[in-house]
Amino acid sequence: MHIRITLVFIISFFLLTGCDQIALLGGFFYSYSTPDERFIESQTMDYESDPSLIKDLNSEDKKYQFIVFSDIQGQDPELPQLRVVLDEYMVDEDEFILDCGDSSEHGFLEEFEAYKSIMDGKGKPWFQTIGNHDTYHSGWKYYREVLGKTTFSLEIGYRDTPDSGSMFIIALDSANSTIGALQMEWLEETLKKESGHWDHQIVFSHSQFFADPILTVVQFSDPEEIYKLMYLFSKYKVDIMFAGHTHVWNYRTLNGVEYVTTPPLEKPFSEDAFIRVFVDGDKLSWEKVIMEP
């Protein structure tokens, strides 16, 4: 009996902690904010970088590239893994950065400030959506102060210019493993309006739809919401959804949509890797860049 109780406790602990089993427990399981609340506030906030900096990336030869990563979870204020990506792996041709969230470990102000300082110091436009760790310990009040928007869209090029490399990018707030009613309504309206007018459409978010092994619970929590999102992405021709959260690489294609879950940039989970995306007119491709240990 004692063994069974102990096993239940251990399993429950790992299931509940999900993204990180060693973070501080106080304030760790509750985000203190909802997706709907953050969505409303986010609409009046600034972007992390000026969106106009990426608007005309396709104007010269219709070619450009950028990188995508996730789960820095900066316990070390020096953020060594982030510095390695930016200083050793990011090349001049990488025009901007998409970050799928969890820039902090505990949602502390100093973690967000350290992250922003390093990202700004690179001198490249960058855009992030919020992760679950970013909301812990009342982290939202610091995130919105330091980083800003969590749900937004970005444009590269112009609507109705076929084969130009134009791209429409959507950032979703899934820090609570759901996007909520207001964000779902906004997403559906946005996709309906923009679909068919751009060469490429991508979505980036923190939580993902799929995870290996099957017992992993750190993903979108409502199956009906997953089905609806996948239906919308397929119906409105989203090319790729990038996500993080599980700390485990995952890739699959369903109904014409690629679902890419990036490994973390925080050891000791999985491999350290990020994604490099290439655009060449109406062609869209990507590669997984594995970092040396």
**pLDDT at position 37:** 95
Using one digit for the tens of pLDDT, what is the confidence trace for 255-286? 999 999 998 887 655 578 999 999 999 999 99
CA gap 116, 147 in Å, rounded: 7
- 250 three-state secondary structure: strand
Q: What is the pLDDT of residue 293?
A: 72
Pairing of strands 126-128, 94-99: parallel
Tokens of 38: 């953050």
Q: What are phi and psi of 275, to 5 degrees?
A: -115, 135
Task: Quick: pLDDT tens for 55-82.
Answer: 999 998 999 999 999 988 877 878 888 9
Which of the residues in the chain have pLDDT under 50? 1-29, 215
269, with CB counted inside 10 A (0-12, 13-18, 19+), is middle
Angle at 150 between CA 178 and CA 79, to 5 degrees: 105
Q: What is the pLDDT of residue 213?
A: 59
pLDDT for res 8: 40
- What's the order of all strands across the beta sheet hosting 126-128? 126-128, 94-99, 63-69, 273-280, 283-290
Q: Tell me, what DSSP letter sits at residue 161?
A: -
Which run of H or E residues covers position 276? strand 273-280
- Expressed in angstroms, the distance from the first to the final Cα of the chain is 43
3-class state of residue 91 by DSSP: coil
22-290 fold: Purple Acid Phosphatase; chain A, domain 2 (3.60.21)
230-267 CB burial, b ≥16 within 10 A, e <16: bebbeebebbbbbbbbbbbbbeeeeeebbbbbbbbbbe
User: Is the Cβ–Cβ distance between 172 and 182 less than 8 Å?
Assistant: no
Q: Which pair of tokens denotes residue 52? A: 């106009």
The angle subtended at Cα 70 by Cα 36 and Cα 245, nearest 5°, is 60
User: Look-up: residue for tokens 């207001």?
Assistant: 182
Contact 245, 263 (CB under 8 A): no
292 vs 209: CA distance, rounded Å: 28
